[in-house]
């Protein structure tokens, strides 16, 4: 701010010879009325409202200033002196009266406009109360502000609360939801600066996340929307009645998705694998999971993401996300999901459920494919099964990798392999199993057996012959008569190709072992 040079007009009382008597006495009656000019007015540029007056004139011995803001008593100012008065914003008709030594006066009206500057550098902090998830604590600071007003966004025609810089104002919401909080920095006049932020009030959501009794506040972006909905396909793979439904609107962004904010940071100190059940109308789409931390910076650049690909269409499957490379010190607390990542939305609905953190390698569960080389648990009878690139890709099976099982002439006629599942197979509603098979000849017997984890005597095997040669086909194995009495469970899947025959040697290919009705 420029400093204004104060101009002081000095009054010099000149005793003219015509105004004196022979005795040397001064004739005061001869002094004329004073001349009062516009005062030099300085307004401080800090929104304090302080205005300094330097009255000017000729023949004045003293000034009186009436501030015209309701102040009853005027200020008395000597020649060359100043006075400071605090105003609210507005326009004032200030009256300045100059008086001579003989009491003669002259009055001058001066208009003074007091206008405040807009507050700058407004900084607002909104934090969840650590002891009550329904409450928030708000602080604010700014330059050139006099005080703050805050609207919490939860009632119509809201009367704002007021607070000062350095003060914390708290508010408790009555219901879950998203609320727009508005903080207004006031200047003391008409000028003001505003800040808004959306606050999500939700019950603390912790892993594992199900949607049976929990309704989180979803964060949606890119024109995708998530809501809690009925399970579109209750099955052994997911018997939940309630799940999350994500709709990716037609024309939505390729990165459209939804997020769930957890009530605590995810602890990756011992467990590194995130699992999520998904239902997609289409196989082969990317389902991305992203983890973010919660900081004042929005968006926070610290995040980590992992992709998984659906293998089924119109059925539930479980996807695994390996976060072994995660830095646990980053305190990730928001889970973000994207369906059909990289493609514009078509209006399709996707469903997800049972988001959980598990230890060790990703769970091995039906449906089984061979995209992961380590899925094979063991071999027996001289047979060997490995995961290889699909050598016979066609319209019936275009998977990148398949299982390759080889029997040798020196092996047993019952040589085969098996996979141990993480959990027992649920045969409550789906009692059949399907497997894609490629065989060099028609009529080759394929044995598929389910077996108890610790007692091989608790088992059931079905033999189905191939019907085509040199092409992929899907064989169905009916376990309708499987004995489920007495808590019998089946956690191993065993297969034998060309059962009861020694190898030639011969190699067989198979893929996509899954339950079905």
d(CA 270, CA 324): 10
- CA 170, CA 127: separation in Å to the nearest integer? 10
Q: Which two tokens stand for residue 245?
A: 């439904």
Q: What is the pLDDT of residue 472?
A: 95
Q: For residue 516, give the 3-state DSSP assignment.
A: strand
Please choose, from the candidates 225, 221, 150, 148, the residue with its C-alpha nearest in 3D space to the C-alpha of residue 180.
150
Strand partners, 368: 513
Cα 63–chain centre separation: 64
- Domains belonging to the chain, first-starting first, are 17-114 (2.60.40.10), 120-201 (2.60.40.10), 219-358 (2.60.120.260), 373-516 (2.60.120.260)
Cβ pair 464, 389 in contact under 8 A = no
| Surface-to-core class of residue 91, CB atoms within 10 Å of its CB (0-12 exposed, 13-18 middle, 19+ buried) | exposed
* C-alpha R_g of the chain: 42
Two tokens at 464?
Answer: 């189905």
**DSSP assignment of 125-159, as one string?**
EEEEETTEEEEEEEEEEEES-SEEEEE-SSSTTPP
Helix (H, G, I), strand (E, B) or coil at 272: coil
Give the Cβ contact number of residue 517 at 10 Å.
8
pLDDT at 12: 34
The answer to pTM > 0.75 is no
Are the beta carbons of 55 and 34 closer than 8 angstroms? Answer: no
The DSSP symbol for 119 reads: P
The helix/strand/coil state of 374 is: helix
Q: Which residues contact 253 (CB under 8 A, 6 or more apart)?
A: 221, 222, 223, 224, 344, 345
Looking at the chain, how many residues does it have? 517
Task: Locate the DSSP E strands across 414-517.
Answer: 416-420, 432-438, 445-451, 459-465, 472-478, 492-497, 506-516
Q: In what order do the strands lie in the sheet with 459-465?
A: 378-380, 416-420, 492-497, 445-451, 459-465
Residue-level pLDDT at 448: 95
Task: Determine the 3-state secondary structure of 18 from DSSP.
Answer: helix
Please give the Cα distance from 2 to 229 (Å, whole number): 65
In the Cβ-directed half-sphere of 203, how many Cα atoms lie within 13 Å? 8
HSE-CB at 90 with a 13 A cutoff on CA atoms is 10
Q: How many CA atoms lie within 13 A of 178 on its CB side?
A: 10
* 3-state class percentages of the chain: helix first, strand second, coil last, to nearest 5: 5, 50, 50
Look at residue 359 in the predicted model and tell me its pLDDT.
81
Sheet holding 219-221, edge to edge: 219-221, 257-261, 332-339, 286-293, 303-309
For 495, residues 6+ apart whose C-beta sits below 8 A from its C-beta are: 385, 405, 416, 417, 418, 435, 446, 447, 448, 449, 510
Q: Which residues of the chain have pLDDT under 70?
A: 1-31, 295-300, 360-363, 372-374
């Amino acid at each position: 701010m420029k400093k204004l040079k104060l101009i002081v007009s000095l009054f010099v009382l000149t005793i003219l010879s015509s105004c004196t008597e022979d005795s040397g006495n001064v004739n005061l009656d001869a002094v004329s009325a004073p001349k009062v000019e516009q005062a030099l007015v300085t307004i401080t540029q800090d929104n304090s409202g302080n205005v300094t007056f330097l009255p000017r004139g000729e023949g004045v011995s003293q000034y009186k200033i009436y501030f015209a803001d309701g102040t009853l008593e005027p200020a008395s100012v000597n020649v060359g002196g100043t006075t400071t008065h605090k105003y609210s914003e507005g326009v004032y008709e200030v009256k300045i009266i100059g008086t001579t030594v003989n009491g003669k006066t002259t009055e001058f009206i001066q208009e003074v406009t007091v206008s405040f500057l807009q507050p700058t550098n407004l900084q607002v902090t909104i934090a969840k109360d650590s002891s009550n998830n329904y409450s928030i604590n708000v602080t604010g600071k700014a330059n050139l502000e006099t005080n703050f007003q805050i609207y919490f966004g939860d009632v119509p025609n809201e009367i704002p609360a007021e607070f000062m810089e350095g003060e914390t104002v708290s508010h408790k919401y009555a219901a879950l939801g998203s609320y727009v909080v508005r903080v207004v920095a006031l200047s003391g006049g008409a000028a003001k600066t505003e800040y808004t932020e959306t606050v999500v009030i939700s019950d603390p959501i912790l892993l594992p996340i199900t949607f049976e009794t929990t309704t989180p506040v979803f964060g949606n972006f890119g024109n995708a929307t998530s809501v809690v909905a009925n399970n579109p396909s209750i099955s052994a793979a997911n018997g939940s009645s309630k799940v999350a439904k994500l709709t990716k609107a037609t024309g939505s962004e390729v990165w459209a998705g939804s997020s769930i904010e957890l009530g605590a940071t995810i602890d990756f100190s011992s467990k590194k694998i995130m699992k999520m059940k998904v239902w997609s109308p289409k196989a082969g789409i990317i389902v991305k999971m992203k983890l973010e931390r919660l900081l004042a910076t929005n968006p926070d650049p610290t995040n980590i993401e992992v992709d998984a690909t659906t293998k089924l269409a119109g059925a539930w499957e479980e996807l695994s996300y390996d976060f072994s490379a995660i830095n646990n010190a980053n305190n990730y607390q928001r889970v973000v999901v994207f369906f059909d990542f990289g493609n514009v939305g078509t209006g399709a609905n996707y469903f997800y459920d049972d988001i959980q953190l598990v230890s060790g390698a990703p769970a091995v569960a039906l449906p089984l494919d061979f995209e992961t080389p380590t899925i094979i648990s063991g071999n027996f009878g001289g047979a060997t099964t490995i995961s290889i690139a699909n050598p016979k890709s066609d319209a019936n099976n275009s998977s990148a990798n398949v299982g390759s099982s080889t029997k040798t002439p020196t092996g047993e006629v019952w040589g085969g392999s098996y996979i141990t599942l993480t959990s027992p197979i649920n045969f409550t509603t789906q009692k059949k199993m399907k497997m894609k098979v490629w065989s060099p000849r028609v009529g080759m017997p394929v044995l598929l057996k389910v077996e108890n984890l610790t007692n091989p005597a608790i088992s059931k095997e079905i033999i189905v012959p191939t019907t085509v040669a040199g092409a992929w086909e899907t064989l169905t194995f009916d376990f309708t008569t499987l004995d489920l009495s007495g808590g019998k469970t089946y956690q191993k899947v065993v297969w034998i190709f060309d059962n009861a025959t020694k190898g030639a040697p011969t190699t067989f290919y198979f893929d996509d072992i899954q339950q079905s009705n």
